[in-house]
Structure 1
Amino acid sequence: MTGLLAAAVVLTAPRWLPARVVALRVKVFEKVNGDDAITFPNARVGPDRFLEVYAHPAANGRSRGAGLSDLFWYWLAPGPEVHQEHLEAGPRYDDVARTTRALLSGPGDALSEAAARCAGRVLDELVTGRVTAVRLRDLMLPVWAEYFHELVFGEPCTREARELVVGHADDVVTALKCTGLRHPGRRARLTRYLARRVAAGDARRPLPATLTPAERVHYLQGTFFNTAVVQMSEAMAHLLLALAQHPDEAARLAADPGDERHFANVLDETMRLYPLFGIAHRITTGDIALDERTTLPAGSVLCFNYPEYHATGHDRPEVFDPSRWERVPAREAHHIPFGVAANRPCPAWRVSPLALRAATGEVLRRFTLHSTVAHTRSLPSRGPCLLVRVGEPLPARRLAVLGALLRARDRWEDVWLSAVQLVLGTVMVLHARRLRLAGRYFDTPGCPRPPHTQETTE
């Protein structure tokens, strides 16, 4: 009997273990900020007031005074203190933001053409067979490494530079997903390459004058060759996986690549269901009065839950339905894929849809996509998918067999990855708390300690 019970536990593990491990991981991360963090939406501030709090002028602190900052600085090192997202408001932020906008600017046609060229070059190099099993995020990393290298330096990316950028970006996102530990040496190799390029004056726009030479290197590394490469690769992985599991949508886009409106609907629906951020945290720099009884004092840590907010205000929110965007004006929808204009929106809000559409067109021109794996927001599996070359379709029976094998592997891999994420996530949380990278930075002379954080009810 004991043996049968043990066998039952093992055989049914894919059904129950991952969800329980994820819940346990969530509790571990909730402890990072203690009891002072306030998550939105909540019982007092529902989704109808979510944007009001998010866009409040006092909800603009970035790193100072939040336990989560130590963790994110730990993951995003080196140079997190000059990462654009971590800079507090002031002249340095304004200077850096101008530079970022300048490097991301250009005619829409040119930005799209560059994305198509980079995607086509990488796809033709890495996917050569009739049918190829890939991890979509891994496949997309070199595409966006080349793209942002061109935007920053104004020239094609060499193989050496691409490998350095991909190695660094993969190390960052793997640590963020808690499926692997950090490798500072791998990141330092990219830092040395960028230092040489910055010293030679190779950037196509002047770099922020308010930063030191070393800070300019870390700014480029963190903003363009970390966040930009990782987030665009994640977005493409979600988009292509959604198309693989909704072949009618993929066929429609492939048949009419000029249908910009429908692509926008597909992208909006993908980012609604699978937002790139789970939680965005802000630290209040002044009091926020919610009503006559409740005030969030300066120094409060606010955590904005994107997936929960995106799931409200929609019919059948769990269903992938791009057509909903024909009925719901985007300005009225609970949908903030690029943040909000009043609180530092993503600087790539313009270039991202253009580049994603161009790269998607290159994929669909070459392949049909097939995947039977679980599609989750965090995507720790990196998006397993089969690419079948256009014009060389597989027999339906063979495709079904491959799909069944892919699904079975994914279910058991999910069990393993869940356990790995729990263990490595806990290790990194403890290590980050011990190192206190953000806390030590703001404790240095010239950086006053933040006020005590708590919610007060009058």
Structure 2
Amino acid sequence: MVITRLRNWVFARVNGDEGIPVPGDLVGIDEFRRVYEHPAANGRSRGAALSDLFWYWLAPGPHVHQEHLEPGEQYRDVARTTRHVLARVPVEELAERCAARVLDGRRGLVRLRDLMMPIWAEFYYEVVFGTRCPREARDLIVANADDVVTALKCTGLRHMKRRARLTRYLLARLNDVPHHLPSSLSRIEQAWYLQGTFFNTAVVQSSEAMAHLLLVLAERPRDLDEAMDEAFRRFPLFGIAHRITSADVPLESGRTIPRGSVLCFNYPEYHRAGLEPIPFGVTGNRPCPARVHAPAAMRVVAREVLARYDLYSSATHTRPLPNRGPCVLVPRPGREPLALLVFMRVRDRWEDTWRGLVQLVLGSYMVWDARRVKLCQRHFGG
């Protein structure tokens, strides 16, 4: 918890005096959502030192990642493409097939995030290519997504050669994509677009969300929709999300957020206030393109898990989930695995003692290295 708070403090202040924490002294918790959905809070990368860090974590091709494109025609082109790719997905049928292929035969002590990644790798491969995912592609996607999220959690350094293997695979398969890809992008940028949007963000966020949902269900049996609402509220997928204002933003207090300000939205603090969760952003300002089909797919995957297993966990459950969600899968009907739960608790506490130090050291190094290579600043400055 201390490490999490320190990370959020660092993210909110990487931009120095220009970074405005929300909520904070200027913007109260009651104006969080109004400012978040303001049309002028639409910048994403240019002008924020924090962008260098996120570009560093999401490389290669962060300049064409939909989450980090600046507003304008290219953003609209890419966003339209993503919506088109997702529009005709048979979500429930596809999620059921992918979950069944990965889950069958699994049992015992697992890490839920690791268990979920192959499911979503297959799911989004079929979304993009329209055919069943071969094992080679699944392994490349999982290795890429795991490397990205491990770096984001500061539990390991990034490995660009590992990510480049997926880039080369996608570049060689572009002609097999049965969708119109953004015409404003070159071929290598189209490969990076697929990698960043579907095989980084979509796979990572879906796996994280499912791990949180299943851990909530492991705490006690409950209605699936209730559990999903609780998971989104207690464990938001974003810690700090930043935006750059393209115009002045007036506040109810009479004060103004100046144009060019970097707003650092603190999701956990917003949710702790008991306000309505916004797990997929807001409709009027850069919404998540998966906001409709992601919850439906998650429900199906959760039902597939619960139809096969009872879930038990004694591990620490926090929003960053650096332990990757330890859990015991007991084929139904079964008994509570008391010995495994004792082992899990001891192992999890032991891992926590050194993991925090690892995160602090590696996170500090990556902040320094990101500021050194300046991926975002060099892109816009060149």
Give the TM-score normalised by the residue count of structure 2.
0.97
Partner deviation per Cα, 1:291-321 (whole Å, 9 max, x = no partner) = 5752111110001111111111x3xxxxxxx
Aligned 1:101-140 pairs, distance under 5 A: 101-106=83-88, 110-124=90-104, 127=106, 131-140=107-116
Aligned 1:150-169 pairs, distance under 5 A: 150-169=126-145
Alignment counterpart, residue 375 of structure 2, candidates 431, 437, 440:
437
Q: Which amino acid aligns with 1:72?
A: F
1:204 aligns to 2:178 (yes or no): yes
Moved over 3 A (4+): 19-31
Secondary structure in 2 matching 1:39: strand
TM-superposed deviation, 1:431: 0.2
Aligned 1:8-407 pairs, distance under 5 A: 19-106=1-88, 110-124=90-104, 127=106, 131-198=107-174, 201-246=175-220, 248-249=221-222, 262-291=223-252, 293-312=254-273, 314=274, 333-391=275-333, 393-394=334-335, 396=336, 399-407=337-345
Partner deviation per Cα, 1:423-444 (whole Å, 9 max, x = no partner) = 0000000000000000100102
Higher Rg of the two aligned structures: 1
Q: Which residue of 2 aligns with 1:252?
A: none
TM-superposed deviation, 1:28: 3.9
Partner deviation per Cα, 1:328-386 (whole Å, 9 max, x = no partner) = xxxxx521011111111110001101110111111111111000111100000000000
Contact 1:111 1:355 in 2 (8 A): yes
TM-superposed deviation, 1:245: 1.3
Q: Which amino acid aligns with 1:62?
A: R
Distance 2:5 2:237 in 1: 19
Contact 1:84 1:93 in 2 (8 A): yes
Distance 1:135 1:28 in 2: 28
Contact 2:43 2:245 in 1 (8 A): yes
Q: Which residue of 2 aligns with 1:424?
A: 362
TM-superposed deviation, 1:263: 2.7
Distance 1:23 1:343 in 2: 27
Contact 1:28 1:426 in 2 (8 A): no
Distance 2:35 2:252 in 1: 12
Contact 2:314 2:342 in 1 (8 A): yes
Relative distance call for 1:292 and 1:359 in structure 2 (3 A) is closer
Relative distance call for 1:160 and 1:148 in structure 2 (3 A) is same
Secondary structure in 2 matching 1:104: helix
Partner deviation per Cα, 1:184-204 (whole Å, 9 max, x = no partner) = 000000000000111xx2112
Partner deviation per Cα, 1:76-113 (whole Å, 9 max, x = no partner) = 00000000011111111111111100111126xx2111
Distance 1:205 1:149 in 2: 13
Q: Which amino acid aligns with 1:112?
A: E
Relative distance call for 1:346 and 1:20 in structure 2 (3 A) is closer
Q: Which amino acid aligns with 2:117?
A: L
How many residues were matched structurally? 382
Output the aligned Cα RMSD: 1.4
TM-superposed deviation, 1:415: 1.3
Relative distance call for 1:20 and 1:339 in structure 2 (3 A) is closer
Relative distance call for 1:292 and 1:177 in structure 2 (3 A) is closer
Secondary structure in 1 matching 2:17: coil
Distance 1:101 1:22 in 2: 33
Relative distance call for 1:306 and 1:20 in structure 2 (3 A) is closer
The answer for unaligned runs of 5 or more in structure 2 is: none
TM-superposed deviation, 1:44: 4.2
Distance 2:212 2:289 in 1: 20
Distance 1:169 1:294 in 2: 42
Contact 2:45 2:243 in 1 (8 A): yes
Contact 1:370 1:385 in 2 (8 A): yes
Contact 1:231 1:276 in 2 (8 A): yes
Contact 2:8 2:240 in 1 (8 A): no
Secondary structure in 1 matching 2:104: helix
The answer for unaligned runs of 5 or more in structure 1 is: 1-18, 250-261, 315-332, 445-458
Q: Which moved more, 1:210-219 or 1:225-234?
A: 210-219
Q: Which residue of 1 aligns with 2:352?
A: 414
Q: Which amino acid aligns with 2:35?
A: V
Contact 1:22 1:418 in 2 (8 A): no
Secondary structure in 2 matching 1:204: coil
Contact 2:12 2:264 in 1 (8 A): no
Q: Which moved more, 1:270-279 or 1:39-48?
A: 39-48
Q: Which amino acid aligns with 2:380?
A: F
